[in-house]
Structures are given as structure tokens and as C-alpha cells.
Amino acid sequence: EVQLVESGGGLVQPGGSLRLSCAASGFTFSYYAMTWVRQAPGKGLEWVSAISGRGDTTYYADSVKGRFTISRDESKNTLFMQMNSLRVDDTAVYYCARSGAIVPTILDYWGQGILVPVSS
């Protein structure tokens, strides 16, 4: 059974940093691209970032480019998102998702999400 479990969320002040983790199980982690998606309160889904199965290619939405860094650790079957220079409008539930063999395409499994409130 494919499982994705996010952790690392919590209240952070504007300008602060946070690292999200997503523990994956039930599939060959290194074979799949992975994606982070967020959802601000009362809003729709917004693609944030993705990483190829090999980890050699990363992709970012313009809204987070230069502030967020996606990475993965194959030995731990874990996806990460380092978030720096956080802003109030980064407040959202963050979801990790499996997103296709090798390169990011469709999102076919989702985690339960983790809340990241950014507020002073």
C-alpha cells in the first residue's frame, strides 16, 4: 500500500524557515518523481515544486523560486522541502504527492497534508 506522510509543519514567523518532510512507503521511491502542492485557506490547489525520480532535476513555481528548495533522500525514502524567507501568503496546507515515473506528470497518490501557518 502506497503511503505518504508529511511532517515538520507548525507556526513560523514571517521571514523564518521551516523544513517539511514526506516519508514514502509501499513503492520504489527512487523510480518516481515527487511533488509538493499547497492549498491556502479557502483556496484551490497550487503546484509548488517537483523533483525527478533521480533527483537530478528540480522544478519550482515562480511564487517560491529562490526561497524554497526541494530534495530527496533515497536511503530514507523521504522527500523534503526547505522553506526560507517565509511570507504570510505562504500560509497553507502542504501536500506531498507521487507524480509519475521518473519525470513529474500526474499525481496519483497524496499525503494527508501538513499545516504551515506563517504569522507574527
Partner 1 sequence: QLVLTQSPSASASLGASVRLTCTLSSGHRSFGIAWHQQLPEKGPRYLMKLNSDGSHTKGDGVPDRFSGSSSGSERYLTISSLQFEDEAVYYCQTWGTDIQVFGGGTKLTVL
**Using CA atoms, how far apart are residues 34 and 29, in angstroms rounded to an integer?**
9
| Three-state SS at 88 | helix
Q: Is 102 in the site for partner 1 (CB under 8 A)?
A: no
Choices 9-17, 20-28, 66-74, 92-100 (CB under 8 A): range interacting with partner 1: 92-100
String marking each residue 27-46 x if it binds partner 1 according to CB under 8 A: --------x-x------xxx
| Distances 21 to 42, 43, 62, 120 between C-alpha atoms, Å | 24, 23, 21, 23
Neighbours of 120 (CB within 10 A): 9
Choices 13-21, 23-31, 63-71, 94-102 (CB under 8 A): range interacting with partner 1: 94-102
| Residues near partner 1 (CB under 8 A) | 35, 37, 44-47, 50, 59, 61, 93, 95, 97, 99-100, 104-113
